[in-house]
Amino acid sequence: MSINQWLSQRIEKTKQAGLYRELRTMSTAPQPKMLVNGTQKIVFSSNNYLGLANDPILIEEALKTLQEFGVGSSGSRLTTGNTEWHEKLEQRIASFKRMEAALLFSSGYLANIGVLSSLPEKGDVLLSDQLNHASIIDGCRLSKAETVIYKHSDMSNLEKKLKETQTYTRRFIVTDGVFSMDGTIAPLDEIMKLSKRYDAYVIVDDAHATGVLGERGRGTSELFGVSPDVVVGTLSKAVGVEGGFVTGSRVLIDFLINHTRTFIFQTSLPPVSCGAAYTSLDIIEKSQELRERLHRQIKIIKSTLEAMGFTVYGQNTPIIPVIIGDTAKSVIFSKKLQENGIYAPAIRPPTVPKGESRIRLTVTATHNDSQVEHLLTSFKDIGRELKII
Ligand SMILES: Cc1ncc(COP(=O)(O)O)c(C=O)c1O
């Protein structure tokens, strides 16, 4: 059998299971209304939570860096790829996150894999939330430590697991700050208390919280007034650019520079991304307006959908999962939304548990009131037609 025959058989199985994925082509910059596969759609599935990916001030700053530093960095950080922009951005991230130091990675995915595969040693244990992101799961798989899963945000279950793992050399609790498929917020205050009581370190992935939660958008640490040992983040969501980072103590960063393979053996971010992200963090920290607009839209969408009779998961985050239940019905719901000019994908098993297929909405500060109104009217009409409400 040729490799292509073998792979075609595997793809066919994916199709039969209703899990085949296809790429869609966006022909416009990230904004609420985009050309998706050649048709105008209001997009309710982007991570551009504050609308900064297409912000004119960021573009202007990026153009300056682009002209001065070119399009690529030409090497890894430890060879020729460490520019003054990388260092400036790391200092900016550290001050924004109120941590001693920060280290850039090419993506949030690689930051998580890097930290989890290099920090814990053999004989240690990673206590990982059941709903953690794929990059945390993969990081745990690469780690020499053992992994123990605790029930999603269930503090009594975490405490039980902490008690059971006292014989390991070290314990690391690892959690998303905001969970990407459920829109829930990790109870970081309680996690920190348990970590003190049971002598554990805490690693938080604040990918979806950075720029969004806390008065100045510093994330879950600011929201709960706590300081975890390691905070991972991404520049690709509310910050609107690309790249990942780790923040913590200076010693932690020194350790990662020397031991983390996804940092050492990777070409560094292009300086233009660093320049744009630097300006973006300035805007995020100084201006409350975008965050306030975002949270206003979150409140309206969530409360209206709930009042209509939909089951809506999550807390006050831009991730708004509307539970449809049946997988086929979720796909039909998403198609009908598309016919109404709305792009919001259906999320199916194995990404979410069986019976919990959903439309995963995300909202941004740049969606206007009439776009939100159109979304809500469409949900009401389709929900009634499919007998969901
Ligand atoms: C919770 C979480 N962590 C990490 C990542 C990865 O971030 P990046 O897109 O920068 O690789 C994502 C992105 O989808 C995410 O949702």
Residue 8 forms part of a structural domain: no
Domain CATH code at residue 340:
3.90.1150.10
Residue 6 forms part of a structural domain: no
Report d(CA 373, CA 45) in Å as an integer: 16
Say yes or no: CB of residue 49 within 6 Å of ligand 1. Answer: no
Report d(CA 365, CA 291) in Å as an integer: 7
- Model pLDDT for residues 71-92, shown as the tens digit of each residue: 999 999 999 999 999 999 999 9
Give the distance (Å) from ligand 1 centre to CA of residue 108: 5
List C-alpha distances in Å: 87 to 83, 229, 251, 271, 273.
7, 21, 16, 10, 13
The one-letter amino acid at 278: Y
The one-letter amino acid at 294: L
Are both 112 and 235 inside the same structural domain?
A: yes
Give the distance (Å) from ligand 1 centre to CA of residue 234: 7
| Mean per-residue pLDDT of the chain | 97
Are both 159 and 274 inside the same structural domain?
A: yes
Say yes or no: CB of residue 273 within 6 Å of ligand 1. Answer: no
Report d(CA 385, CA 247) in Å as an integer: 48
Say yes or no: CB of residue 362 within 6 Å of ligand 1. Answer: no
Are both 218 and 265 inside the same structural domain?
A: yes
Are both 177 and 260 inside the same structural domain?
A: yes
Are both 264 and 352 inside the same structural domain?
A: no
Residue 12 forms part of a structural domain: no
- Probe ligand 1: pick from 105, 133, 262, 347, max atoms within 8 Å of CB? 133
Are both 82 and 210 inside the same structural domain?
A: yes
Give the distance (Å) from ligand 1 centre to CA of residue 26: 20
The yes-or-no verdict on residue 18 having pLDDT over 90 is no
Are both 85 and 213 inside the same structural domain?
A: yes
Are both 232 and 307 inside the same structural domain?
A: no
Q: Which of 286, 314, 331 lies at the terminal end of a domain, its last residue?
A: 286
The yes-or-no verdict on residue 300 having pLDDT over 90 is yes
Crossing angle for the helix pair 271-286 and 56-69, nearest 10 degrees? 150
Give the distance (Å) from ligand 1 centre to CA of residue 176: 10
Of the candidates 202, 69, 208, 212, which has an alpha carbon nearest to the alpha carbon of residue 135? Answer: 208
Are both 216 and 140 inside the same structural domain?
A: yes
pLDDT for 20 equals 85
Residue 11 forms part of a structural domain: no
Considering its fold, how many domains does the chain have in total?
2
Give the distance (Å) from ligand 1 centre to CA of residue 380: 31
Please give the model's pTM, rounded to 2 decimal places: 0.97
Are both 302 and 194 inside the same structural domain?
A: no
The yes-or-no verdict on residue 350 having pLDDT over 90 is no
Are both 42 and 68 inside the same structural domain?
A: no
Mean pLDDT confidence for 20-35: 94
- Probe ligand 1: pick from 49, 131, 135, max atoms within 8 Å of CB? 135
Residue 14 forms part of a structural domain: no
Which residue intervals of 17-129 are DSSP H helices? 56-69, 84-96, 108-118
Are both 281 and 364 inside the same structural domain?
A: no
Report d(CA 318, CA 185) in Å as an integer: 11
Report d(CA 377, CA 305) in Å as an integer: 10
The one-letter amino acid at 238: A
Where in the sequence is the domain holding 150, given as residue range(s)?
56-286
Q: Which of 226, 252, 286 lies at the terminal end of a domain, its last residue?
A: 286
Measured from the Cα of 110, ligand 1's closest atom is 11
Mean pLDDT confidence for 29-38: 96
Say yes or no: CB of residue 244 within 6 Å of ligand 1. Answer: yes
Say yes or no: CB of residue 180 within 6 Å of ligand 1. Answer: yes
Say yes or no: CB of residue 176 within 6 Å of ligand 1. Answer: yes
Domain CATH code at residue 92:
3.40.640.10
Q: Which of 286, 315, 340 lies at the terminal end of a domain, its last residue?
A: 286
